Chains A and B, each alone.
Chain A
Amino acid sequence: MSRFTAWDSGEARAVLRPHGGAPDAVLPMLQALQARFGFVHAEAVALVAEAVNLSRAEVHGTISFYHDFRSSPPAGRVIRLCAAEACQAVGGAALLAAARVLADGGDVVVEAVYCLGNCALGPAALVDGALVGHLDAERLAALVQGCAVAAVQVPR
């Protein structure tokens, strides 16, 4: 079961409509599309470009600049693991490597992010919109297996 709606250009137009037509709406538009469909479909480039009166190249350039935008739907649960310095200091790099092995071939997506603002309680991860602190190999494995985030949020 997916939290996202299957791509539909009619629905995409409806998502874009409330954002008006000013060029500074491009990021909010792309974010709204990704929130609805889980990614920014190739067809969305033309829709956004048309809505704000920019060239497709410009809109495409914007999309490709930002790490957040996906060009295909995520295969499953997204685990965003912090790979920045404060988490490195408590074993974050090894955890990231372990996560990549655990997730390999499965339907979990592991992504490195650089700081989640939880640097005192690292290693940190962001899963299903919630922050997890003091992550370790065991809890990571539970997350990969689909365990609820709340179940791994416990103090040390």
Chain B
Amino acid sequence: MTLRVFIPGDAAALSVGADAVAREVAAEAARRGVLVEVIRTGSRGLLWLEPLVEMATAQGRLGFGAVRAGEVAGLFDAGFPAQGHPRAVGLVEDLGWLRQQTRLTFARVGVTDPLSLGAYRAHGGLAGLEVALGLAPAEIVSLVAASGLRGRGGAGFPAGIKWQTVLGAGDGQKYIVCNADEGDSGTFADRMLIEGDPFVLIEGMVIAGLAVGATKGFVYLRSEYPLAERVLRQALAVARDGGVLGASVLGRGPAFDIELRIGAGAYICGEETALLESLEGRRGVVRAKPPLPALAGLFGKPTVVNNVLSLAAVPWILAHGAEAYAALGVGRSRGTLAVQLGGNVRRGGLFEVPFGMTLRAAVEGIGGGTRSGRPVRAVQVGGPLGAYLPDSLLDTALEYEALAAVGGMLGHGGVVVFDDTVDMARQARFAFEFCAKESCGKCTPCRIGAVRGVEVMDRILQGVERARNLEVLADLTTLMTDASLCAMGGLTPLPVLSALRHFPEDFHRPVG
């Protein structure tokens, strides 16, 4: 009997040795004459347990966490599958970390071989596309609207409204553009999805194409994700061979194909109009809106620009119904959120839950507090343009409106934990520094304001005329908020002012 062993091939798992473990499992099996089939999957998202090796048993998959290559022989000695081994974590599906989740978008990630279209189908893949092929474009758009799906890239704009606009924009050439630029610190869900289940993104883009009448899609993927690039390139080839992409979708639909483009290391190219400029081969300079990309986007044509997770949620919605999706979540935040826990956190990773879990439940419950063991002091939610929140605000729910109500933003769902050694004035300085580095340069409040912000923060940190410089800081952030063309300059004050509001003592520390 062949033993089936599942080992993640996700970049985060590889970063802590998953490849060496996989090689060692194969080598040890060969030495012992045991028949082993090693299947590389995505990551389940329990990143603190990586490399998480799973063995198929009659009861389910048995897990071994944080395995080192040197420990593989010991696993075989204990008798494979080695229940009771020090690295054993029990049946993976029974782990609280997974049982507390509602995995819709990430249902297959960590479970199946990401490049097997057969496994994709066997685990419910393409069911949404099958439904979509039997519907009129307007019916697909209505379903997406009824699901309450909002864009996961940060702004939370209703996907149904965007799609409706593009559908109504005439009969000419249109495009689907997937924003896979994922530049926010603390976020890695797009990467994990592309590496772990690329077909669900492809399926979502095909459905979007059917819905609005587009026959061509582009994925704009950041260059910092070389593994995701390799996986997606292969997945696109497999999807073409399998008839999911090509002259006629699944042999019954219109044409649809997807081209993969790679970014070149510019954070601002995650902003949708800068992304379109970049796709067209130019500097990633933000365009003034209007016109909306939905009406005049890529090459001036009506274009859907959606985040990876927005598009990847669509197959589930089509397959299970808009009501089932809308039944999850709170308020105007419907469906599930892929929470990404990072920074100084004991159990970091990705978990997918209906909108509405509190930050405290995420950071303390799921995450287990800090990795350093020290008290949590601040949590930054929503990437580099998101607010720093203190302990007193950790009971805020992870959903768009609740975070906005406390002066923050949900962004792409990244939650970065800091312990009590953090200097919040330095974090405020960094927010300006990052903005200065990544500003597209189009408008003065951002281009000049960010540089001035660094200087002002330096003086505050050095204790130079603090009261006066705090006034300058207030003026500067007001100007950036009010007069910047896009959210890069417009939201940089958010981390700065939240740090100042919630941690004022750090701006008044004695120098030296």
Contact = CB atoms under 8 A, between A and B. Distances in A.
A47 interface: no
Given A86-B342, A154-B68, A129 B15 contact: no
A62 interface: yes
B399 to A, nearest CB: 21
A89 interface: yes
Nearest to A84: B185
Contacts of A46: none
Given A131-B12, A155-B66, A89 B224 contact: no
A131 B342 contact: no
Nearest to A61: B283
B185 A155 contact: no
Interface string A143-156: 00000001001111
A133 interface: yes
Interface string A118-129: 111110101001
A12 B282 CA distance: 21
Interface in A33-65: 52, 58, 61-62, 65
A119 B185 contact: yes
Interface of B: 11-12, 14-17, 19-20, 47-48, 50-51, 66-69, 182-188, 191, 223-227, 261-267, 278-285, 299, 340-345, 348-350, 371-372, 380, 384, 414, 416-419, 422, 427, 430, 434, 437-438
Highest count of chain B CB atoms <10 Å: which of A31, A87, A117: A117
B506 to A, nearest CB: 15
Interface string A61-72: 110011111000
A86 B226 contact: no
A61 B12 CA distance: 35
A121 B264 contact: no
B16 A86 contact: no
B331 to A, nearest CB: 27
B264 A155 contact: no
A85 interface: yes
B14 A85 contact: no
Contacts of A131: 11-12, 14-15, 227
Nearest to A125: B15
B19 A120 contact: no
Nearest to B372: A90
B261 A28 contact: yes
A13 B340 CA distance: 44
A132 interface: yes
Interface residues of A, number: 49
B12 A86 contact: no
Contacts of B419: 89
Given A84-B185, A131-B11, A155-B16, A27 B342 contact: no
Given A58-B282, A85-B384, A119-B188, 10 more contacts: A24-B281, A30-B264, A89-B344, A89-B416, A90-B371, A113-B224, A120-B349, A122-B342, A131-B12, A132-B15
A102 interface: no
A117 B11 contact: yes
Contacts of B380: 85
Contacts of B19: 150, 153
Contact of A89 (B267, B283, B343): B343
Given A52-B281, A86-B342, A120-B345, A114 B434 contact: yes
The 7 A-B residue pairs with the shortest CB-CB distance in the complex, in nearest-first order: A120-B348, A119-B342, A133-B15, A84-B185, A89-B343, A66-B264, A26-B281
Contacts of B261: 27-28
A52 B12 CA distance: 38
Contacts of B183: 114-115
Given A84-B185, A89-B344, A89-B422, A69 B279 contact: no
Contacts of A114: 183, 185, 267, 384, 434, 437-438
B188 A27 contact: no
A154 B24 CA distance: 13
Given A86-B185, A86-B186, A117-B188, A65 B224 contact: no
Contact of B12 (A28, A84, A117, A126): A117
Contact of B14 (A28, A86, A134, A153): A153
28 contacts: A26-B282, A28-B261, A66-B283, A68-B264, A69-B264, A80-B224, A84-B434, A85-B185, A85-B416, A88-B427, A89-B343, A89-B422, A90-B344, A90-B371, A113-B224, A114-B267, A114-B434, A115-B184, A116-B224, A117-B191, A118-B11, A119-B340, A120-B48, A120-B341, A130-B15, A131-B15, A132-B15, A156-B16
A103 interface: no
Contact of B223 (A68, A87, A132): A68
A134 B12 contact: no
Contacts of B50: 121, 155
A15 interface: no
Contact of A150 (B20, B48, B283, B434): B20
B265 A67 contact: yes
Contact of A133 (B16, B186, B384, B417): B16
